[in-house]
């Protein structure tokens, strides 16, 4: 089995600045730590690094740092941090990124931005610059922001976009699972109608605060497959963001008060769950784990995605419970 992890983070607070790190996240997650989290089930393992929200004035430094590690750790593409609503400053930054050989796309993290930013004149202008360079855009949003992403896709139909973490639906926890909401299903279906938009099977463990199981999350994977089709799904670990939660059994470093901890096996467990789900449904496992990410990010010889609508299995039937 070969795997391209389409959503891998790395960070080092001693090298770069991150305002959001706290608790178990406030530690180094880089070369040595990733080596201990390797995917044992993978015969071949590569990854796409996705910006980790370092300070804005260090975005370029982050790219250069990851490029210095890339060959050793198997990173074959970088989704760089950018602010797309800065006019001339955006264009200048994109020009600087163009000199970095591993950059395949960008991400302006939208999840904590005001509603409507993604369809503002300034943002759309910046996103058109991304499309003109042949790069991709990672859309990291919360579920309520999905309509804005769909409007952005409509405004720039040639922009290859991928939805991070299925749009962060409310999934509950293993102890109190939630079912996919009608609103999330509707909005995901609307977004999937834009053929250049893909979806990452990533991030759901983090939405469950690290307390999750296969039965809880499979309905969300089913919706993603029904809406986007397997041809536009790609697996991502969201490591180490999705590797924080209740301490795993036998963890010698577990806190006595039950505080969240780093889960050493979380990355491999998420891979195992998605593979088991895909095999049970008869989906193309290699497409989800490798080929779709390779095609979307232009990492191999497959070129850019085919801009045709894949077969849909009927999301309206899902809504009716059929």
Instruction: Average the pLDDT over 299-322 and give the result.
Output: 47
Q: Record the pTM.
A: 0.93
Asked if the bond preceding 5 is cis, omega within 30° of 0, the reply is no
Q: What residues contact 87, with CB distance under 8 A and at least 6 apart?
A: 122, 125, 126
* Residue 74 pLDDT grade (very low, low, confident, very high; cuts 50, 70, 90): very high
Please check the confidence at residue 86 and state whether its pLDDT lies above 80.
yes
Instruction: Tell me the pLDDT band of 257, cut-offs 50, 70 and 90.
Output: confident
Phi, psi (rounded to 5 degrees) for 306 = -75, 120
Per-residue pLDDT, 319: 47
Round the average pLDDT of the chain to a whole number and report it: 93
Q: What percentage of the chain reaches a pLDDT higher than 90?
A: 89
Share of the chain above pLDDT 70, in %: 93
Q: Which two tokens stand for residue 215?
A: 């039965």
Q: Is the pLDDT of residue 310 over 80?
A: no
Residue 193 exposed, middle or buried by CB count within 10 Å (0-12, 13-18, 19+): middle
At 301, the pLDDT band (50, 70, 90 cuts) reads low
Residue 49 has pLDDT above 70, yes or no: yes
Centre a 10 Å sphere on the Cβ of residue 211 and count the other Cβ atoms it contains. 15
């Amino acid at each position: 089995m070969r795997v391209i992890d389409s959503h891998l983070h790395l960070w080092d607070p001693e090298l770069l600045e991150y305002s959001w790190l706290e608790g178990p996240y406030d530690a180094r997650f880089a070369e040595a730590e990733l080596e201990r989290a390797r995917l044992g089930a993978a015969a071949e393992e590569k990854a796409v690094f996705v910006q980790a929200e370092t300070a804005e004035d260090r975005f370029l430094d982050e790219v250069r740092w990851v490029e210095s590690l890339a060959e050793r750790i198997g990173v074959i593409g970088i989704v760089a941090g950018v602010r797309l609503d800065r006019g001339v400053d955006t264009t200048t930054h994109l020009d600087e990124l163009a000199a970095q050989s591993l950059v395949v796309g960008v991400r302006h993290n939208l999840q904590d931005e005001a509603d409507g930013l993604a369809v503002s004149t300034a943002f759309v202008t910046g996103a058109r610059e991304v499309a003109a360079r042949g790069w991709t855009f990672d859309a990291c949003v919360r579920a309520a922001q999905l309509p804005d992403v769909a409007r952005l896709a409509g405004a720039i139909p040639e922009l290859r976009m991928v939805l991070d973490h299925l749009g962060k639906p409310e999934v509950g926890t293993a102890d109190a699972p939630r079912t996919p909401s009608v609103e999330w299903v509707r909005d995901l279906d609307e977004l999937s109608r834009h053929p250049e938009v893909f979806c990452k099977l990533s991030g759901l463990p983090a939405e469950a605060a690290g307390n999750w199981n296969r039965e809880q999350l499979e309905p969300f994977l089913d919706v993603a497959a029904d809406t986007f089709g397997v041809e536009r799904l790609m697996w991502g670990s969201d490591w180490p963001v999705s590797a924080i939660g209740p301490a795993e059994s036998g963890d010698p470093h577990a806190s006595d008060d039950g505080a969240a901890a780093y889960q050493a096996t979380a990355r491999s467990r998420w891979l195992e769950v998605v593979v088991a789900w895909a095999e049970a449904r008869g989906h193309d496992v290699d497409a989800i784990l490798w080929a779709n990410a390779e095609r979307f990010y232009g990492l191999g010889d497959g070129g850019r995605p085919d801009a045709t609508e894949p077969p849909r299995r009927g999301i309206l039937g899902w809504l009716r419970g059929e």
